[in-house]
Amino acid sequence: MAEENCLYTKGFTLLGILTAAYIVIRQTWRAVRGLRTHVLSQWWRTDLTKYGRWAVVTGATAGIGKAYALELAKRGLDIVLISRTLEKLKRVAAEIEKASGRKIKYIQADFTNGSNIYHTIQEELKGLEIGVLVNNVGMQITEVPSKFLDTPDLKKMVESIINCNIMSAVQMTRIVLSQMVQRKKGLIINISSVAGQRIMPLGLMYSASKVFVDYFSRGLDLEYRSKGITVQCVMPLLVSTDMTYNMNTNILVKSADAFACEALNTVEYTERTNGCLSHTIQNYVWSLMPDFLFYFILDSKSLKKHFEDLNSSYKNKQN
């Protein structure tokens, strides 16, 4: 009996040692990958011009989309800007052309309008050697956290967010992917969100749409990696843009320009990223939080009040 107990004790001890070793090795490997992706990549950047002459960016007149367009131009690509407001397109095109010296084209399109816009986009892009596509355009369904049925004008908003956040990525990929496959090279960057990594009540449609972008990206990468196509899914946390009420930047909140620069450095280092070192560390810590605590914080009155105050302050600044 004593020998049996001793054997069990040794077995459980060995299991504990192996489990601890697995955890240490796994976390060490994650740290090494993070160092390589976010630190070494600053010095050994991928040459993005090898994919082709042109980069296409959707939702390109503000925030992350504009920052990606400017950074891609600085790295030697000509840019096609796609967004809904003609005046903003002209202004941003002139700004990027002046800053980079690259050729800039623009296409006016409202991605909330459904599939009827894509024939025009396809015709406008015909004949261009598109090496990079950034599917960035996106929208939130409400300005403050709210339950699904409490969404104002729910039917219209649901259609808009599906068209803008989901359909745009699929249709734009359909338009450019075939010529990338023919040339056996191309880069598709899909902007998702950390909101797509966890069920997000009170922001349900936005969160669910970003889950689609994540899975769509991962599936595309598996299907077309052997064809020379790189597909990357970027899942930022807080970036100072109109969508986040232009929050003040700090160690947690990145400016759009800084985020785009760091995120582009990670191309070919990882197919799925939070974009920058700060967001990667935050996401790791966030992933350790138990679900019950996360949802308790998300449903708190103080957080809702915080978003309402941000929204009110932002609107006052706009006025």
User: For 275-301, how does the pLDDT look when each residue is reduced to its tens digit (9 = 90+)?
Assistant: 999 999 999 988 888 888 877 777 766
Rounded to an integer, the average pLDDT of 258-262 is 97
Confidence bin at 229 (pLDDT 50/70/90): very high
Q: Are 64 and 83 found together in one domain?
A: yes
Residue 165 to residue 50: CA distance in whole angstroms: 28
Burial class (CB in 10 A: 0-12, 13-18, 19+), 282: middle
| Residues in a beta bridge with 106 | 81
Residue 88 maps to a domain: yes
Catalytic site residue from 68, 106, 206, 245: 206
User: In 109-160, which ranges are E strands?
Assistant: 130-135
Evaluate if residue 105 carries a pLDDT over 90: yes
197 vs 17, more confident: 197
Please give the pLDDT value at position 265. 97
Q: Are 199 and 272 found together in one domain?
A: yes
Q: Are 164 and 252 found together in one domain?
A: yes
Residue 300 maps to a domain: no
Please give the pLDDT value at position 286. 86
Residue 144 to residue 157: CA distance in whole angstroms: 14
Residues present in the chain in total? 319
Q: Are 106 and 232 found together in one domain?
A: yes
What is the domain count for the chain?
2
Tell me the per-residue pLDDT of 170-194, one tens digit each, with 9 for 90 and over. Answer: 999 999 999 999 999 999 999 999 9
Residue 302 maps to a domain: no
Q: Are 80 and 147 found together in one domain?
A: yes
Q: Are 143 and 244 in contact (CB under 8 A)?
A: no
Secondary structure class of 135 (helix, strand, coil): strand
Type of residue at 151: T
Please give the pLDDT value at position 36. 78
Residue 296 maps to a domain: no
Confidence bin at 71 (pLDDT 50/70/90): very high
User: Which tokens sit at 146?
Assistant: 């709210």
Residue 317 maps to a domain: no
Structural domain boundaries enclosing 115: 46-291
Q: Of 69, 50, 29, which is closest to residue 268 (Cα–Cα)?
A: 50
Which helix (H) or strand (E) is 276 found in, with range? Answer: none
Distances from the Cα of 214 to the Cαs of 200, 219, 234, 261, 308, in angstroms?
A: 15, 9, 8, 21, 29
Q: Are 165 and 97 found together in one domain?
A: yes
Q: Are 16 and 158 found together in one domain?
A: no
Strands 239-240 and 54-58: unpaired
Residue 146 to residue 203: CA distance in whole angstroms: 7
Of the listed ranges 35-49, 66-80, 232-246, the least confidently predicted one is 35-49
Q: Are 57 and 30 found together in one domain?
A: no
32 vs 112, more confident: 112
**Number of Cβ within a 10 Å radius of residue 84:** 17
Residue 160 maps to a domain: yes
Residue 92 maps to a domain: yes
Residue 17 maps to a domain: yes
Q: Are 145 and 269 found together in one domain?
A: yes
Q: Are 141 and 206 in contact (CB under 8 A)?
A: yes
Secondary structure class of 84 (helix, strand, coil): coil
Q: Are 67 and 141 in contact (CB under 8 A)?
A: no
- Domain of 86, CATH number, reads 3.40.50.720
Q: Are 156 and 127 found together in one domain?
A: yes
The sheet with strand 186-191 has its strands ordered as 104-108, 78-83, 54-58, 130-135, 186-191, 229-234, 272-273
- Our answer to whether residue 106 is catalytic in this structure is no
Q: Are 2 and 124 found together in one domain?
A: no
Q: Are 29 and 100 found together in one domain?
A: no
Of the listed ranges 55-64, 114-123, 158-167, 291-300, the least confidently predicted one is 291-300
Q: pTM for the whole thing?
A: 0.89
